Structure 1
């Protein structure tokens, strides 16, 4: 990978590790739906001129059925569920739980008959889900289990979204898909946002929503497209294994969240499991899931 590619890779690894911190700050004062609405609306407004200039928007809207499905499972559902989950869970815990997305994608694709498991992938799945069990079993209180369920549902949505891209929207410009999805997501949130709008917002909470939209959505997707062009889709998706580490470090350093035994045991198991569970075997018996080469807003 070139020097430019490495710069893009490192920048995106950090940027997509930050949302969990910002969401945690924002939902302390703002309803999660309003946070998601602000993020999608500002992000859409920033990307619209770029997408229109590239003539990427019309092809996306022509495929409105899979586009709507992608929007619901990749943006509307996950961003709302994740926001609600982070009113109960630490940003570090949420970030580590999201790291199971590649494993869920591998399971879904196998069940659909599009993939198969070899020894390495089965070992990866076992390690990854053992890491989640350690994290939940050692760190999560019983009354926080619904929040864990919300993050798991978010992870399922993040796993399904790229599969829809690969199967139904593969010929559509990625910039058009993301921009059109943000527009649709904003419109779907819009009828409910006025009823949940806060009376006043601190600079920290409001700034977090703006940062989510500007840096973790609009800027991040533009960098992701540049990274794919520079390094290819396979290498670009390796950021999936670095984002959780960034989320954990930021949670501990900035929000003073505890570094628990569950995190210490679960984090390396989840990451190692994800790498093994989605990698190709030496004989090529496993192929990486299509979702690994699509778009995922796993943030």
Structure 2
């Protein structure tokens, strides 16, 4: 991995870790539905402009069903669930729960392909569960009213990411940028019904709108462009490293900008979840770039 791609990887982890910061800021004011409608519309408009500049068509007639499925499970549902949870849980807890998504993806993939789950996967699942239990069991936000439902929502959000990744592996190949662009427009439509369920509890300020704009343009639009460039340059396995780094930034941003407390349980829980995720996915970091640099 070149220095440029390493910096892109760190930047992507920082951006995705920051999504929970922006949700914690905006969700209590806008409500989950309004916030996520802003997010996906802003992201779709940004990607539409990029698509026009790059002359990348969507081919809606051919792929509209694919975009709807991906938009539902990879954007609309998990975004809404995380935004719902963000009204109660800390950014640190949310970022760690999000890191369990590859675990669900690996398990769902094994079920889909009717494969036996090996000992390493079972160990990883046990560690991931233990790490989540440790984190939410000791974090002070877990003692608030409604925290149990918020935790369940965040876990189910990660489960939806697992469904999306399993589906994407089985679906007909579509150009990555079109996947991101088309799924954002689909999510914009799919999120509309939730506006009647979760009306906005407060009046948005310029700062709140700015957080929603950052969530859409930066954490969805720009992040997708960075991620797919990394997949193209270094491969999907190396790009997966972002899953293990982004919780660190989620915790860091929560401490710096929201005054969240990082206890031993935060560090230990995050570390256990990351190790469990690595075991389940069979992830092995590619350190060849580091050896080449040392030489």
Which TM-score bucket, shorter chain as reference? 0.7 to 0.9
Report how far residue 200 of structure 1 moved.
3.1
User: Secondary structure, in 3 states, of the residue corresponding to 2:56?
Assistant: coil
Tell me, in whole angstroms, the C-alpha distance in 1 between the residues paired with 2:44 and 2:146: 36
Task: Tell me how far apart the structure 2 counterparts of residues 280 and 113 of structure 1 sit (CA, whole Å).
Answer: 19
**Partners of 2:29 and 2:202 within 8 A in 1:** no
Find the counterpart in structure 2 of residue 297 from structure 1.
none
Q: CA deviation at 1:115?
A: 4.4
- Select 2:240's aligned residue among 230, 237, 254: 237
Give 3-state SS (helix, strand or coil) of 1:22's partner. helix
Q: What residue number does 1:189 align with?
A: 191
Runs of 4+ aligned residues of structure 1 deviating over 4 Å after TM superposition are 191-195
Q: In 2, distance between residues paired with 1:79 and 1:166?
A: 21
Residue 42 (str. 1) matches residue 45 (str. 2):
no
Is this contact kept in 2: 1:95–1:247, CA < 8 A? yes
Paired position in structure 1 for 2:287 = none
**Residues in 2 aligned to 1:199 and 1:87: alpha-carbon distance in whole angstroms:** 13
Give the corresponding residue for 1:55.
56
1:68-119 deviation line (CA, Å, top 9, x unaligned):
1221111111111111111111111111111111111122122223544333
**Contact conserved, 1:57 with 1:180, CA < 8 A, in 2?**
yes
- Between 186-195 and 106-115, the greater mean CA deviation after superposition: 186-195
Taking structure 1 as the reference length, the TM-score comes to: 0.86
Cα distance change on mapping 1:246 and 1:84 into 2, 3 Å: same
Deviation (angstroms), 1:168: 1.0
Q: Which moved more, 1:172-181 or 1:116-125?
A: 116-125
Match of 2:206 in 1: 203
Q: How far is 1:265 from its partner?
A: 2.4
* Structure-2 residue corresponding to 1:159: 162
Q: Which runs of 5+ in 1 are unaligned?
A: 282-299
Q: Distance in 2 between matches of 1:262 and 1:158?
A: 25
Q: Which has the higher helix share?
A: 2
Please report the TM-score for the alignment, with normalisation by the length of structure 2: 0.87
Q: How does 1:254-269 map to 2 (within 5 A)?
A: 254-269=257-272
| Matching residue of 1:22 | 22
Residue 19 of structure 1, CA deviation: 0.1
Cα distance in 2 for partners of 1:108, 1:199 equals: 39
Q: Which segments of 5 or more consecutive residues in structure 2 lack a partner in the other structure?
A: 285-295
Q: 1:10 to 1:227 in 2, by over 3 A?
A: same
Distance in 2, Cα, partners of 1:193 & 1:273: 36
Does the Cα contact within 8 Å between 1:131 and 1:267 map onto a contact in 2? yes
1:263-282, aligned counterparts within 5 Å? 263-279=266-282
Moved more, 221-230 or 13-22: 221-230
Report the Cα offset of residue 199 of structure 1.
Answer: 6.4
Q: What is the RMSD computed on CA atoms of the aligned residues?
A: 2.1
Alpha carbons of structure 1 residues 193 and 137: separation in structure 2 relative to 1, 3 Å: closer
The corresponding residue for 1:90 is 90
Residue 46 and residue 118 in structure 1: after superposition, are their counterparts in 2 closer, same or farther (change >3 A)?
A: same
The separation in 2 between residues aligned to 1:61 and 1:128, in whole angstroms, is 41
Deviates more, 1:13-22 or 1:48-57: 48-57
Contact 2:138/2:265 (CA < 8 Å) preserved in 1? yes
Tell whether the 8 Å contact from 1:25 to 1:204 is kept in structure 2 after alignment.
Answer: no
